[in-house]
Chains A and B, each alone.
Chain A
């Protein structure tokens, strides 16, 4: 069990550019979640996958954001036409699929800075 892995750890880009982050969940976990966290706040839910199906999206997830999990294993989160307000830590978490409410385990996150 290598834990949840996220790549890259840091991303610095100019406003207007597109960025893509990757998350590899714990291997036996088929639920995968994306969160965003800004300084002094707790993580805010963005979206959730069960296997390859994206089952829920937050109102926070504007149409510039898209997430995929094509084979039910790793997931990608893409932000198009980045804005300064997108600067945050993007966290991925995974959990077992017995039922909602199982503990979620987080990766180390990707810190995005928009210049």
Chain B
């Protein structure tokens, strides 16, 4: 089992819809959770981070964390074509210094 798992996609949604991206992790000691967006040929760009169970909202983005189910998700409301990218889930275990990344989910928002 991989440490951080994501559906590779591609996930395709129409413009204006809600895109839902999911991630599961294996280490119950995980404490910090991050979502990065990566455009083709570019480096990862931090979108959201969440440390506590529940929801965290920032503009059109909502991160949801459920530590009991070892599950973290990212919702993108009112999806735009410019949101088309690969979304990487990353997890940090407490007192570890590296982040473990999933392979990413490719999202396409169709006009």
Contact = CB atoms under 8 A, between A and B. Distances in A.
Interface of A: 31, 33, 40-45, 48, 50, 55-56, 58, 89, 91, 100-109
B97 A55 contact: yes
Interface stretch (B56-64, B66-74, B77-85, B86-94): B86-94
B46 A104 contact: yes
A101 B103 contact: no
Contacts of B88: 42-43
Interface residues of B, number: 27
Given A56-B98, A100-B95, A100-B96, A41 B46 contact: no
Given A91-B43, A108-B42, A100 B100 contact: no
Interface of B: 4, 8, 31-32, 34, 36, 42-46, 49, 51, 88, 90, 92, 94-104
A53 to B, nearest CB: 11
A58 B49 contact: no
B46 A105 contact: yes
Contact of B97 (A40, A43, A56, A107): A56
Given A33-B99, A100-B94, A101-B92, 5 more contacts: A42-B101, A43-B99, A43-B101, A91-B44, A102-B32
Contact of B103 (A31, A41, A106): A41
Contacts of A58: 98
A48 B46 contact: no
Contact of B49 (A56, A100, A103, A107): A103
Nearest to B92: A101
Contacts of A107: 43
The 5 closest A-B pairs by CB, nearest first: A42-B101, A101-B32, A45-B98, A106-B43, A101-B92
A56 B88 CA distance: 23
